[in-house]
Amino acid sequence: MNELYNKAESFITQYYREKKLPDSARNKRLNEIKQSILSSHTYEHTYDELDFGAKVAWRNSNRCIGRLFWNSLNVFDAREASSADDIRQSLFNHIDYATNDGKIRSTVTLFKPRRADGSDPVRIYNHQLIRYAGYRQKDGSVIGDPHSVELTDFCEKLGWKGEGTSYDVLPIVIQVEGEPPVYFDIPSHLIKEVSIIHPESDAFNELGLRWYAVPIISEMKLEIGGIEYVAAPFNGWYMETEIAARNFADEERYHQLPKVAEAFGLSTLYQSSMWKDRAIVELCTAVMYSFKKEGVSIVDHHTASQQFAMFEDREKGEGREVTGDWTWLIPPVSPASTPIFHRQYENTWKSPNFFYQPSMLDTAVKSGCPFFQSIKK
Ligand code: ARG
């Protein structure tokens, strides 16, 4: 049999083993899959296989510190969605369910997978379903999130126009095979955002920082048993350093450290005064404080590291080896104060898993997507 069958076999075997289901049932299922691959070069997962596969993909995500909760992932099967309208509805439903008014639920929505001939029924252009626009100015500076400049340009070429603030939520851009990409705005009542305020500094509050509640990665592919779910947006909840020490702090992102230092009256004359470090800690404090105050799920990096250590123990108890990418697992703030820093991890990638894939945006922008060319003004 072929490569796809081999991948299916190893996934199905894992599924029946972990679920403690009888070998006879497994053999029957494998036979079914073999017949399907012989006649149509592909096979379809049952809902239970999908549910298990997506959870294990999370468990296998080497870069994720939040894996303790892999088994509580909510898996939505949207393989029936075929029109742009259906897909939009499923995405709104995901955002609404995952947000849960702040009590964030880890969720993945699976759309139709890649076909046997390699074509994709559905693709999403966005890096995350909710993300702020970045508007490149004539002088080269950016208003908003510099990470979003390309997608923002693309949306504008499709006809979208944002307000031009630092925190405009981008529309979602999707493409159904055989059709041009389309965009739609997310109704604002579905988007939960948090004003970032500091418990002790009014000057900090003047910065007017804000961030959205739910990070929903939407450009990665979920591979289960050789089937590639090329549109499979998934979310957890934030760890405070992601927002505080990266999104707000990176010079290539919102670049707020000098402003935060100023708000706290820290001199930025000598870097040896540790003004950057102190500003980062104040940002972390403010992000934690604000999310908690608004009742939005968030975890600090110390607790997340402890939870990861617990995940390692549990996996060991189950006789499974935890793989990991140390460079990603350690938090960007005080890494050596967490247990992860002092351990080593094997960085091999198990399947099922989430993988990067060529982004639709790059393909459209760089190779000149014909649809894009035709609607370009
Ligand atoms: N680091 C990304 C961001 O700041 C989000 C990645 C996923 N994070 C998560 N906690 N599930 O937007």
pLDDT of residue 375: 47
- 306 Cα: distance to centroid of ligand 1 (angstroms): 18
Share of the chain above pLDDT 90, in %: 96
pLDDT surpasses 70 at 372: no
How many distinct structural domains can be found in the chain?
1
| Apex 304 CA angle, 61 and 230, nearest 5 | 25
- pLDDT for the residue 109: 99
The answer to the question of residue 312 being in a domain is yes
pLDDT score at 9: 98
Q: Cβ contacts of residue 320 below 8 Å, gap of 6+? A: none
Mean pLDDT on 186-190? 98
Confidence bin at 365 (pLDDT 50/70/90): confident
Predicted confidence at residue 364, as pLDDT, reads: 86
The answer to whether 238 and 288 have CB atoms below 8 angstroms apart is no
- Is 7 a member of any domain? no
SS3 of residue 19 by DSSP? coil
Please give the single-letter amino acid code of residue 242.
E
Q: Rounded to an integer, what distance in angstroms lies between the CA atom of residue 23 and that of residue 354? A: 28
Q: What confidence score (pLDDT) does residue 376 get?
A: 41
Please, which pLDDT band fits residue 302 given cuts at 50, 70 and 90?
Answer: very high
CB 350 within 8 A of CB 57: no
pLDDT in tens, 234-272: 999 999 999 999 999 999 999 999 999 999 999 999 999
Residue with tokens 């908003």: 144
Q: What is the mean pLDDT of residues 12-38?
A: 98
Q: How far is the CA of 243 from the centre of ligand 1 (A)?
A: 8
Question: Relative to the CA of 235, which ligand 1 atom is closest?
Answer: 11
- Report pLDDT for 79: 99
Indicate whether 55 pLDDT > 50.
Answer: yes
Tokens of 214: 């739910």
- Nearest ligand 1 atom to the CA of 246 is 4
Q: Residue range 326-331: average pLDDT?
A: 98
How high is the pLDDT of residue 374?
45
Predicted confidence band of residue 369 (pLDDT cuts 50, 70, 90): low
| Residue of 64, 155, 284, 369 marked catalytic | 64
Q: How far is the CA of 51 from the centre of ligand 1 (A)?
A: 22
pLDDT at 354 over 50: yes
Q: State the residue range of the domain holding 164.
A: 44-341+354-374
Q: Classify residue 25: in a domain, yes or no.
A: no
Question: Where does ligand 1 bind, in terms of residues with CB under 6 Å?
Answer: 215, 217, 236, 238-239, 242-243, 247
52 CB-near residues (< 8 Å, 6+ apart): 15, 18, 19
206 part of a folded domain: yes
What is the reported pLDDT for 152?
Answer: 98
- Assign 368 a pLDDT band (cuts: 50, 70, 90): low
Atom of ligand 1 nearest to the CA of 128: 12
- Identify whether 1 is part of a domain: no
Residue 377 has pLDDT above 50, yes or no: no
Q: What's the rounded Cα separation, in Å, for the pair 27 and 32?
A: 9
The DSSP H or E segment spanning 29 is helix 23-40
The pLDDT score that the predictor gives to residue 366 is: 73
Please compute the mean of the pLDDT values over residues 200-225 and round it to a whole number: 98
Tell me, yes or no, whether 302 lies in a domain: yes
Q: What is the pLDDT of residue 320?
A: 98
Site of tokens 């949306």? 155
Share of the chain above pLDDT 70, in %: 97
Total Cβ atoms within 10 A of residue 119: 9
Residue 250 falls inside a structural domain: yes
Average pLDDT, rounded, for the chain: 97
- From CA 177, how far away is CA 84, in angstroms rounded? 10
Say if 26 falls within a structural domain. Answer: no
Q: What is the pLDDT of residues 111-167, one digit of tens each?
A: 999 999 999 999 999 999 999 999 999 999 999 999 999 999 999 999 999 999 999
Active site residue 326: no
